[in-house]
Structure 1
Amino acid sequence: MPMPQVPFDDRGLAYGDGVFETVLLRAGVPVLWDYHYARLLLGCQRLNIPLPSREQLVATWQSPPNAELEILKLILTRGSGGRGYATPDNSQPRLLSRRTPFVVNADRWHEGVNIRICQLRLGHQPLLAGIKHLNRLENVLARQEWNDPAIAEGLLGDADGWLVEATSMNVFWQQAGALFTPPLSQCGVAGTLRAALLDHGVVQEAAIALTAIHQVDRLWVANSVQGVWPVNKLLSETGVVLQSWNPAGHDRLQVVGHELLGYSPTSR
């Protein structure tokens, strides 16, 4: 089915005035949907955009699945109208959706990945922190910093030097046997897998300086589509290897994370 055309005056196109979700579908059923819905609701509340009804949202995955695993991309804009940045008195939100087959890269679960530190620093904006709004220019610029296929992700710090996230994943580390992830009160996207792991008591929030992340005992990046990737090597902004770790089998973070996503720990 062709995607609907977005009119020239759509505020999502013009200003990034909207939110989106990227949802893993397993046999046509959304994984971690309660967490995606909660983040979508929070984003709509923060931006003052009317939330689509549950029936409208459910309709986006009601057709028969095209594959065992699919990605459902939901884009919700404020719609059209308003003069300049002023929003219309009665917003008519525009909901777009697309489903595409997905094949997970399970080798990265077992073999681990190499990542780098990005030069870009995230700005603070608490009103936008946590939500998945449509203006992702910081992430776009950060992802332009490398084109080496051997580098799977890039770590982002904020303007004060604290670790926040990766370009499209959340960050987790182990220190003295405990598992941590950065707080996201000033910037960054609060991932749904991250939220589930916090709720299950697997990880806790803690701040860590970007310059100290190479000193942790273990390091991972993860999201609700790709699962949990252990980090083998961490490179600096200039490509210098700062630290190396050895994948330690099916650790607790990966075991619980993949149970939440329905991934088999032995899948290849």
Structure 2
Amino acid sequence: MASGTGDLCLVNGQPVGQIPVGDRGLAYGDGLFETIRVSQGQLTLADYHFARLARDTARLRIAVDVACLTAEASELASQLGEGVIKLIITRGAGERGYAPTNGPATRIMLSSPLPPYPAERQEQGVVLYPCTTRLALQPALAGMKHLNRLEQVLARAEWQAPFGEGLVCDMLGTPVECTMSNLFVRSKGVWVTPEMDQCGVRGVMRDYLVAALAGQGEPVKQRPVELPELLDSEELFCCNSVFGVWPVAGFMDRTWIPGSFTRQAQALARRVLM
């Protein structure tokens, strides 16, 4: 396939494979996925993506060969050149009913071009929409990027342009994340990012920035962030492993100017995505 062109789908390593109608990913959302940016034919943040996949397939008791997945994804990345690979792992086909099966997992890889996000989001930032959809509290699934993303679908349906992202809270009204990204808050001179122990997705860009900022003398606290603290913050940004870091320029009646600490985080993100 020519570099950076077209879409490609692999199922269990074969182009345009077939997925059984009894696959548990289709029937129950019984599986996980990773969205990996490809730059210059290489998987970005690969160690973080595959570490999360290994951790969370173990939590769900889905047996996968992470080394095999890494090799397949790397080969696809070399063909793609620039773009995005979506890696989906399901528990595989099973009998009718909720009882988990012990058969082989299904692995699906989809490639696509990079999303055409407006360039001004990097420089000027985005305005967040206050989503009314709430995240259910479920510690057994907290942090996972599992296949059931209906909460995010409902939250994303709430807003359109000129908003660039939507802020999502838990059932208690505590800010957790955005619809497709994690949140960092500069509060009293320190970075804080919401914990992912009750709900939400523990993003790989989030984990990378926690480590990278600490390495530059800016440790990040992981704890709950209440709405008044967010509104009183000095700087605010959202991040994911595809677009990197977007400064937050506004939320409700509050506005921010992208500051030097957010620019530092952007530079760290560009270091691994470009």
Q: By the TM > 0.5 criterion, same fold?
A: yes
Matching residue's letter, 1:215: D
Q: Secondary structure at the match of 1:82?
A: coil
Partner of 1:230: 247
Structure 1 counterpart of 2:42, from 29, 46, 59: 29
Q: Say whether 1:198 aligns with 2:215.
A: no
**More helix per residue:** 2
Partner of 1:185: 197
Partner of 1:209: 226
TM-score for both structures, normalised by structure 1: 0.88
Quote the sequence identity (%): 39
Partner of 1:92: 104
Partner of 1:11: 24
* Residue pair 2:38, 2:80 contacting (<8 A) in 1 also: no
Q: Say whether 1:245 aligns with 2:262.
A: no
* Residue pair 1:69, 1:103 contacting (<8 A) in 2 also: no
Q: How many residues align?
A: 254
Partner of 1:101: 113
**Can you list the C-alpha shifts for 1:198-246, whole angstroms capped at 9, x where unaligned?**
12214221321135422211111110111100111113xxxxxx20112
Structure 1: gaps (5+ residues)? 236-241, 263-268
Listed as ranges, the matches of 1:26-175 within 5 Å are 26-63=39-76, 65=78, 68-88=81-101, 90-102=102-114, 105=117, 106-146=119-159, 148-175=160-187
**Can you list the C-alpha shifts for 1:154-210, whole angstroms capped at 9, x where unaligned?**
111111222111011000111222111111100110110110111221422132113
C-alpha RMSD of the superposition: 1.8
Matching residue's letter, 1:14: A
Write the distance in 2 (CA, Å) between the matches of 1:217 and 1:248. 8
Partner of 1:219: 236
How many angstroms does 1:65 deviate by?
4.0
How many angstroms does 1:72 deviate by?
0.7
Write the distance in 2 (CA, Å) between the matches of 1:56 and 1:116. 36
Write the distance in 1 (CA, Å) between the matches of 2:152 and 2:19. 23
Q: Which segment is superposed worse, 36-45 or 194-203?
A: 194-203
Write the distance in 2 (CA, Å) between the matches of 1:27 and 1:211. 42
Matching residue's letter, 1:199: A
Matching residue's letter, 2:57: C
Write the distance in 1 (CA, Å) between the matches of 2:122 and 2:79. 25
**Can you list the C-alpha shifts for 1:12-43, whole angstroms capped at 9, x where unaligned?**
00000000000011112111111101110111
How many angstroms does 1:68 deviate by?
4.4
Structure 2: gaps (5+ residues)? 1-7, 10-15
Write the distance in 1 (CA, Å) between the matches of 2:97 and 2:76. 38
